[in-house]
Amino acid sequence: MGDRKALLTRLYAAFNDRDVATLVGGMHPDVSWPNFLEGGRVEGREALTAYWTGQFAMVTPEASPIEMRELPDGRIVVRLHYVIKATEGGGVWTDEITSNTFTFEGDEIIRMDWGEPEDSPGASDALIVALFDAFNARDLEAAKALIHPEADWPDVFSEGRLHGRDQVLAMWSEQFRQFSPECFLIEMTALPDGRRRVRTNHVVRNLDGKIFTDEQATMTYKFRDGLIARIDWSV
């Protein structure tokens, strides 16, 4: 992995320096790259050169790698802090922790995909961490991207269950209206069937900041289509 890791480190530095020639130099002639601005994909070095040249004229992106992990098939997943600012005025468009997955042909990158691949051992873990981050940030839009549309979820206001992502997000919205809850991940265990068992600490304050719940709980997460599909809760 050493040479590929060093290549990625150089290319992220070139990206931050807007050095298109160095960036394209690390790509396979048939490279396939996600089009952040318009959707779809950019195919080939020439098209990628035009894409990055146009992107750097419109926005000022910066990608800071946090960790790199090699998958059994040779792909490399890079977890990074990604910030995009408008070139004019400097307003922030994007500020997030995300992942890039790189596929190689020899010593060159032939494909990049946003996020962790669904078959990556870390993909499910990353989903859960992102969900905790979204909950504690009161970010319903971020949570929406992590929860399956047909999610099956415990209802904190009753002993029943919620069915569907919209119901889950409506419950969260009501929680945030009435209380100030926080959820902290203590330990995560991978189960043989692909689920994750997570030990957590939940702290709930009223809107004046007084704590009336501070307890540990265990939640078991089930996944579907690369999203969180079900949670079961026990104290």
Order of strands across the sheet that contains 92-105: 41-43, 27-34, 108-114, 92-105, 76-86, 59-70
Domains of the chain: 2-114 (3.10.450.50), 123-234 (3.10.450.50)
Distance CA 194, CA 196 (A): 7
Q: Are 115 and 80 in contact (CB under 8 A)?
A: no
Task: Please list the pLDDT of the chain residue by residue as tens digits (235 residues).
Answer: 569 999 999 999 999 999 999 999 999 999 999 998 788 899 999 999 999 999 999 888 999 998 888 887 889 989 889 998 887 766 787 788 888 999 999 999 999 998 777 655 567 888 899 999 999 999 999 999 899 999 999 998 998 999 999 999 999 999 999 999 999 999 888 888 888 999 999 999 988 889 988 999 999 999 887 789 999 988 6
Distance CA 168, CA 153 (A): 7
With CA atoms as reference, report the closest residue to 1 among 78, 65, 70, 101: 70
